[in-house]
Amino acid sequence: MLASGTGTNLQALLDDARVGSHVTLVLSDRAGSGALKRAEDRGIKAVHLDPAGYPDRQAYDLALLDLLHPEADLVCLAGFMRILSPPVVRAFAGRMVNVHPSLLPAFPGAHAVTDALAWGVRVTGVTVHMVDEEVDHGPILLQEAVTVEEGDDQASLHARIQAVEHRLYPRAVGLLVEGRVRVDGRVVRLTEGP
């Protein structure tokens, strides 16, 4: 699990019966992140990998790969605020998943909630997708719409989006853990069993 912030999506995964026992490492680029604390509270290995401790992005990414061990079954991103380099993504091709606070392909990037409000959309939502070498671009596993209500600000809309993330992300990761996801190009098919 890679996370930079408070770790609410991590907590949702930890609390899910199908997923929680599979989380073995939480890595954050920010010291003292809530995600690290949540991992420690559960007895899960929690690592702060400080980008300032490396001379460049390539060196950081090599250290990241060493910690993740390319044989990992699945890498989940939950608010990890660093763009992963192509070598990292390739090492986990088909085994890396992300949750994003919009209905992709609309509003990719770090400001999806603000962008949705600025555009005046009536509907935004949550997307869980496989990670590829482009930002917020990979094949879509699950999506769910969230209505933008009159008077919404960033905090109120984001709170409703997070409530959906906390339900949808564990469901998607559970499908991956159960071997029920087949990716064919950009199309994701969910199967009845492994």
Catalytic residue IDs: 100
Q: What is the DSSP string of 96-134?
A: EEEEESS-TTSS-STTHHHHHHHHT-SEEEEEEEE--SS
Q: What is the DSSP string of 16-55?
A: STTTGGG--EEEESSTT-HHHHHHHHTT-EEEE--GGGSS
Are the C-beta atoms of 2 and 76 separated by less than 8 Å?
Answer: yes
Distance of alpha carbon 116 from alpha carbon 114, whole angstroms = 6
Are the C-beta atoms of 161 and 113 separated by less than 8 Å?
Answer: yes
